[in-house]
Amino acid sequence: MLNTLELGPHLNTAAPNFCVGDHNQTSRKLDDLMGPKGLVLGFLVDIWLSASVRRIIWLQRHASTFIRAGYNVALVVCDQPHMLYGYYISSPTPLEFPLLADVRGDVHRLYRMAHHPGLVLLDHQRVIRHKWLMPDERVWPKIQEMLDVMNRL
């Protein structure tokens, strides 16, 4: 698994603010996405890639666990809102988190995630506390690994 200091966002720095539309074309700001303890912010390039679908299904399965732990979930995807809406309405189970349309890739670049699918963990003060950058053969990290990191914050 890729998880180096050189790749992705810098740890222990303030998370860059952003405002993008979600799958319903509603503007969403970082502050609006935060949970009581923070946010699990995911990054994908194309919602319909098979690896992306596997990652979304994984997030669907575990989102309620993160939410119960106090961390909201949001997924930033380099796609048009109508593509995200198409996935949202075709999902066999309802999504508990917004799909955010990063059409030009601005948010991906802000977080240095333009070339890496991954998850970024923000604490309640919007500080980047951990990151998981995933190679194509991995979906996401093990759920227990993520919960252990959350519990240490």
In this predicted model, what pLDDT tens digit does every residue of 59-92 receive, in sequence order? 999 999 999 999 999 999 999 999 999 999 999 8
Length of the chain: 153
Q: What is the DSSP letter of 10?
A: P
> Which residues are bridge partners to 22 per DSSP?
100
What does the pLDDT look like over 128-143, one tens digit per residue? 999 998 877 777 889 9
Annotation: CATH topology of 20-152: Glutaredoxin (3.40.30)
The residue ranges of every structural domain in the chain are: 20-152
Round to whole Å and give the CA distance between 127 and 130. 9
pTM for this model (two decimals): 0.92
| H or E, element range at 52 | helix 50-68
Round to whole Å and give the CA distance between 45 and 141. 18
